[in-house]
Amino acid sequence: MTLATPTRPLFEGADWEFSTVQRAYEAIEQIALGELGLDVYPNQIEVIGTEQMLDAYSSIGMPLFYKHWSFGKQFARNEALYRAGMQGLAYEIVINSNPCISYIMEENTATLQTLVIAHAAFGHNHFFKNNYLFRQWTDANGILDYLEFAKSYIAECEEKHGEAAVERLLDAAHALMTHGVHRYPRPRAIDLRGEERRARERRAYDESVFNDLWRTVPGKSNAHKDPTAGERRRALLQLPQENILYFLEKAAPRLAPWQREILRIVRQIAQYFYPQSQTKLMNEGCATYVHYRIMNRLHEKGLLTDGAMVEFLRSHTNVVFQPEFDDPRYSSINPYALGFAMMQDIARICNEPTAEDLQWFPAIAGKGDEMAVLRDVWANYRDESFILQFLSPRLIRQFGLFHVLDDAEDPHLTVQAIHDERGYRKIQRALARQYDIAWTLPDIQVVDVDLDGDRKLVLQHRALNRVLLDEKDARAVLQHLADLWGYDVVMREIDPTGEQVMKEHSLTPRPGIVRAI
């Protein structure tokens, strides 16, 4: 760095133009691909203004999305916060698609644009392309086409069936969105383009074989009772089923075909975002580590002025700031802070391991090539397993992490573990759990339905640690569920240890909410 470098800086001052972005991109690409060995989708960088950023915010960052009032609400809220100066806008939004689209704000300075390109177009992009969850669960090639299809399909439905009917259906589907995900991978690969094609084919087929006469054919008389019928029925319906939207799409008796298709769309989109919620910490950690390396390297090469470097360090420090638990600014653990710290820590373990590291991380300690180790970590872990595996004692000490147990039956909170020899493992485990989606989302399953009788749908919530659902919201969601199902719905909250029922909610569908006839 002290050597006089003949290279001219990429830019001076805050102003930028398209050629500046191009130059910065090329310099970054050289470092990212050549020196860090990242593997990315082709990039597409889109320059947008404030309003467009707010637009993107309100439709979960996607460039095109179907219409629903909740996005309008989101937009209105963000706009109000932004106009009041209470909330800055993100510098970028990046979309897991191929090509990988990054939005950058026109207001950003040249330094920020460089930072954003390093962070999003290389950091996040590499993570999207390589992490096993994204590879397994999302189809980056097809997502934009699928969204286009979803948007036009829903618009078509609004035209055919009325905005109100579609809105009610989407309300219900959104309420169930968190439980519209297959949690466990199945053999077939996700192919959203094929998905869209199949949807069209299904519709065309339905239309070609439609014959109104079938409606008049008398149904078969009640089949005789079979003692194994219950089990057979559950097997046929693939019960128990944790993907409630999937179950409704396949089995709800009163939904029209277009309604099933919309449930399917909402479910596909939920599925697409499922990996993101499981890799927030790693994803941000990866992107932050990548931009930090790249920016430093650019500065070393003389491509960044000292002023730009200071500006970068200032925003970087803000991003990775972690307030302590007794700080009024504390809300939760900052994924940027912890993620970045862990990535740096891994690099340190690779290069300068201590005796402790050698004992805790024999596989990577002193191995040297930190980028190879990190690339492997980024590809093969999710937040939960990542913390369990790589949260080092040194980091626990540095963050002063401690584990508190809050049992409602106890008048006090108890400190279970702190940053000491006995506590490290416990803290690893407890923190990993906080990032385990199976642990943080309530475990709700469809367990049975009485198809021959009153068609009552039975759900079960296994109340982990005896924590019940928020009653008001749960009833509201169940009401939506009952409307979709068309018959009564009952949910039992059970204590998984003793299997006894702690609480029961039962709801009846409101007439004409989902089906007008």
Partner 1 sequence: MHIVDRRLNPGGKSLANRQRFMRRAKSLIRKAVHESAASRGIKDADEGGEVSLPAQGVHEPGFHRDRSGGMRDHVLPGNKEYVAGDTIPRPPGGAGGGGSEGSPDGDGEDDFRFTLTRDEFVELFLEDLELPDLAKRRVADTESVSWERAGYSVTGSPSNLALLRTVRNGLSRRIALHRPKPEEMAALRAEIAALDEADPRRPALLEELERKLRRLGVIPYIDPLDVRYKRFDPRPKPVAQAVMFCLMDVSGSMTEHMKDLAKRFYVLLYIFLRRKYKHVEVVFIRHTHQASEVDEDTFFNSPETGGTVVSTALEEMRAVVAERYSPDAWNIYAAQASDGDNTASDNERTAELLIQAILPVCQYYAYLEVGRESEHFPPGFIRRDSDLWQTYAEIVQSGAPMAMRKVNHRRDIYPVFRELFARKHAHAGAESA
Residues 404-433 that bind partner 1 (CB under 8 A): 404-408, 411-420, 422-423, 427, 430-431, 433
- Residue 474 makes contact with partner 1 by CB under 8 A: yes
User: Rule CB under 8 A: is residue 501 a binding residue for partner 1?
Assistant: no
The span of 190-198, 228-236, 250-258, 330-338 binding partner 1 (CB under 8 A) equals 330-338
In 110-172, the DSSP E strands lie at none
The residue whose two tokens read 């199945």 is 186
Residues 164-183 that bind partner 1 (CB under 8 A): 167, 171, 174-179
Task: Determine the angle formed by the axes of helices 280-300 and 257-278, rounding to 10 degrees.
Answer: 50
Residue 317 near partner 1 by CB under 8 A: no
Judged by CB under 8 A, the residue of 42, 219, 227, 368 near partner 1 is: 42
CA–CA separation, 294 and 94 (whole Å): 18
- Two tokens, residue 351: 């290069």
Cβ proximity to partner 1, 70 vs 359, nearer residue: 70
Torsion angle of the four alpha carbons 236, 239, 245, 249, in this order, in degrees rounded to the nearest 10: 10
# of chain residues touching partner 1 (CB under 8 A)? 103
Residue 494 sits at φ, ψ, to 5 deg, of -115, 155
333 in contact with partner 1 (CB under 8 A): yes
| Residue 51 in contact with partner 1, rule: CB under 8 A | yes
- Kindly state whether residue 470 participates in binding partner 1, applying the rule CB under 8 A: yes
359 near partner 1 (CB under 8 A): no
CA distances from 190 to 137, 182, 206, 364, 492 (A): 6, 12, 24, 33, 33
Smaller CB separation from partner 1, 159 or 407: 407
Work out which of 10, 11, 16, 21 binds partner 1, going by CB under 8 A.
21
CA distance 278 to 103: 23
Q: Which of 168/297 has CB closer to partner 1?
A: 168
191 to 139, 142, 194, 195, 460: CA distances (angstroms): 6, 7, 5, 6, 31
The interface with partner 1 within residues 224-253 (CB under 8 A) comprises none
CB 140 → partner 1: shortest distance, Å? Answer: 16
Contacting partner 1 (CB under 8 A), which of 8, 12, 35, 49? Answer: 49
Token pair listed for 195: 């998905």
Collect all residues with Cβ–Cβ distance below 8 Å to 75 and sequence separation of at least 6: 54, 55, 57, 58
Minimum CB separation of residue 202 from partner 1 in Å reads 27
Residues 57-96 that bind partner 1 (CB under 8 A): 58-59, 67-73, 75-77, 79-81, 83-84
- Least separation in angstroms between residue 197's CB and partner 1 is 27
Q: Report the nearest approach of partner 1 to the CB of residue 198 (Å).
A: 28
SS3 of 25-53: the string is HHHHHHHHHHHCCCCCCCEEEEEECHHHH
